[in-house]
Amino acid sequence: MNDSDSIKLPTLEEIIDRKPLTVDLDISIADAIALMSQVKGKTVPLENTRSNLDLVPRRSSSSYVVVLKERKLVGVFTERDVVKLIASGRDLSQLTLAEVINREPIALRKSEAGDIFSILSMMRQYRIRHLPVVGDKDRLIGIITHASIREILDPSALLKMRCVSEIMSDRVIQSTGDESVFNLARLMYSHRVSCVVIVENKEIENNRSIAVPVGIITERDLVQFRVLEVDLEQIQASEVMSAPLFCISPSDSLWYVHQLMNKKRVRRLVVSGESGELAGIVTQTSLLSIFDPREMSQVIKLLEHKLEKQTTKLRQAHKQFEQIQRLESIGTLAGGVAHDLNNILTPLLGGAQLLSLRIPDLDPETRQLLELIVNNSQQAADLVKQLLLFSQQIDPKLIELKLDVPILNVENFISKTLPKYIKIETHIAKNLFQTKADPTQINQVLMNLCLNAKDAMTDCGGTVCIEARNFMVDENYARLNLEAKVGNYVMITVSDTGVGIPPENMERIFEPFFTTKEGSQGTGLGLSTIRGIIKNHNGFLTVSSRVCQGSQFSIYLPAIKVEENSIAGSQPLNPYKGDGELILVVDDEASILEISRITLETHNYKVLTAKDGLEAIALHHEYNQEIKAIVMDMMMPEMDGITALQVIQKINPRVKAIAISGLVSHNKIDMTKMPIVENFLAKPYKIEDLLLSLHEILNKSDSLSVANSDKYSN
């Protein structure tokens, strides 16, 4: 095996960004920062070779601008330069790029370019993250960044064999949440770092305390705040920090880190130890440090070893396939045995019961023996049902059922078996619809989900919550979930505050025999059995989860005998039409944004949409006087909904908001920190609930908003 067979390295052409954000040397600092943020700007298209260059519109965030003068490279102005200027206290509105770019630019001549290792070495040597590439007469061709390299690399071979502890930096600049953002900018500049981690002190055993990471402020955040003209000396870090954090552990693979960075669109991840303490940080710069030519010979040996392991895994997969075939045979056999056992148990059980009726004057000892036969026969019959369920040769015994009874039975059993550090909560809505269900199978579903929730919190403790409420699936919701049909359902949700499900496992959790439990602790059949049971009940199942924040499983069973006047929110939609108000809808799911936009526009609202908190702040800044209400998802990448609403509240305390979440319940949101939030909707929500909530907050008296405004002005 040679190098080229092991690792396919990208060429120079593949890692050059030929459409960098470019500006003229005479542009103001304020305009350059605005271009780097998510505000509309203009850039020079480098592929245009005409002398009279046109400007083309662009809308995207960037960590830099390339500065040109007559198409010649002058320098690169980066987020780190913005931090330096903010820390210096200079008035940025009066400065131009020409006044701050005063050194010879570091650039790579295309004719002298080597392989990717020489390029990375050059970037390490000069401690830069942006390397312009120039051609003849110093004309700019494009730019190489750490992001452009990481996007084009296929580093799975290297990253899967390495763990976080090998490359993480334990030199983390940290601060408390009560520090001003201006002082954090000074910290970043003085220590030459790209972020500051916000921590809280937590008491642990033996009167010791640890620093637990709770948020982060980055260079990109400072650029955004500068565009919004926020007074950085007056805002504390806790008010605007990105939270919750995407935490990783020292033992996680670098491949997982690479995937998480891509999915969450972040450039750095905080490392926490076993007790949750701050242990270090991993950046995309440190992630690229593993591509060092000195390590390549060792890497090739590791790759050869990995190939051998993959071959072994293929053999094991073949054995597993044979095992599945054997299990199918066992299932068929189990079905046959179960039927034979039923034929034996039926007369045994019936005979014992008949004897006790025909001979009423039995002595106590004989009657006790008959009761023992009846009880044991009944237990054997229940075991036979489980065998038939495993072999899929039993149909559910559907009866009209109100699900509060099995829920309370499961709560009673689970509460006695859970460790003391795990709490269980139950919330059952009044007037819960009836459904047709098999009580035994529903009990099995709830027990499995609760036990899985317990296992997710073995080390850290937390809360298992069972909620039941009525739910109506409308046409829009049915479009988002192909298994759902329009109609009324009973929805039962089992949620936990445990470790969550990693993104790479989410698509596999319902696969038979897939398990992340060690040894013989799990068979990998639990969730696949649950899904099969719910399908046999003509229902469907949804899952949502966030790493380090918990998981939520919701089962939907069709309702029966629903009276029209008992359906919550069954009023017609037309009374809740808008009056042309502008609504800002914020969610990181594109499908939810699209459905919400169509729904609100259909009901006479104007709509702006944003995919994360940063874009929401930028849009609110642009349409401050026109936006009448905000519909904000609480859990999003880049900047979450809670942080975004706190920033918006500083800018405009009169705006009204509806908080939305699939994981956070209403009582877990600190409303005292966000008085602009006047309503809460739990995902999945019905369209009429959203329209009704908007109708209520838009028609509510402005007295509360005025009071909030007075409070902030004092």
Same-domain check for residues 434 and 545:
yes
Q: What CA–CA distance (Å, rounded) separates 295 from 315?
A: 30
Most confident of 196-200, 516-520, 689-693: 196-200
pLDDT of res. 239: 87
φ, ψ of residue 306 to 5 degrees: the values are -65, -40
Q: Are residue 535 and residue 452 in the same domain, yes or no?
A: yes
Give the pair of three-digit tokens for residue 191.
């220590």
Local structure of 651: helix, strand or coil: helix
Which of 152, 186, 202 marks a domain boundary? 152
Indicate if 320 and 306 belong to the same structural domain. Answer: yes
Query: Taking 70 as the threshold, does the pLDDT of residue 517 lie above it?
Result: no
Give the pLDDT confidence score for residue 710 in this predicted structure: 47
Cβ–Cβ under 8 Å, residues 128 and 269: no
pLDDT reading at 404 higher than 80: yes
Are both 231 and 116 inside the same structural domain? no
Which tokens belong to 439?
Answer: 């009580």
Give the pairing type, strands 656-661 and 627-633: parallel
Walk across the sheet containing 268-272 and list its strands.
247-248, 268-272, 278-283
Specify whether 118 is located in the same domain as 178.
no
User: What's the rounded mean pLDDT across residues 654-681?
Assistant: 71
- Interval 17-21 mean pLDDT: 87
Among 99, 123, 152, the domain boundary falls at 152
Q: Specify the residue for token string 């960004």.
A: 17
Cis peptide bond upstream of 155, omega within 30: no
CATH of the domain at 545: 3.30.565.10
Confidence of residue 376 (pLDDT cuts 50, 70, 90): confident
The whole-number pLDDT of residue 568 equals: 42
Q: Rounded mean pLDDT of the chain?
A: 76
Which of residues 262, 291, 320 is at a domain's end? Answer: 291
Residues 84 and 126 in one domain: yes
| Type of residue numbered 61 | S
Together in a domain, 602 and 674 = yes
Q: Highest mean pLDDT range out of 156-170, 504-518, 545-559? A: 545-559
Q: Looking at the structure, do residues 286 and 409 belong to the same domain, yes or no? A: no
Give the DSSP H/E element, type plus range, for residue 521: none
Q: In which domain, by residue range, is 660 found?
A: 574-713
**Domain CATH for 136:** 3.10.580.10
User: pLDDT of 95-142, one tens digit each?
Assistant: 889 888 877 888 888 888 877 777 877 887 888 889 999 887 778 889
Q: What is the pLDDT of residue 34?
A: 85
Residues 173 and 263 in one domain: yes
Is 230 in the same domain as 343? no
User: The domain that contains 621 carries what CATH number?
Assistant: 3.40.50.2300
Neighbours of 340 (CB within 10 A): 11
pLDDT digits (tens, 9 = 90+) for 34-74: 888 754 433 434 443 333 333 333 445 788 899 988 878 88
Q: Which of 34-43, 157-166, 234-243, 705-714 has the lowest mean pLDDT?
A: 705-714
pLDDT on residue 51: 31
Give the mean model confidence (pLDDT) for residues 80-84. Answer: 88
Among 556, 443, 539, 439, residue whose Cα is nearest residue 492: 556
- Do 412 and 557 fall into the same domain? yes
Residues 403 and 531 in one domain: yes
pLDDT grade for 182, boundaries at 50, 70 and 90: very high
Q: Is the pLDDT confidence value at 337 over 80?
A: no
The phi, psi pair for 533, rounded to 5°, reads -60, -45
Number of structural domains (the chain) is: 5
Choose from 573-587, 604-618, 659-673 the range with maximum mean pLDDT: 604-618
Q: Which of 38-47, 275-284, 485-494 has the lowest mean pLDDT?
A: 38-47
Dist CA 362 CA 501 (whole Å):
59
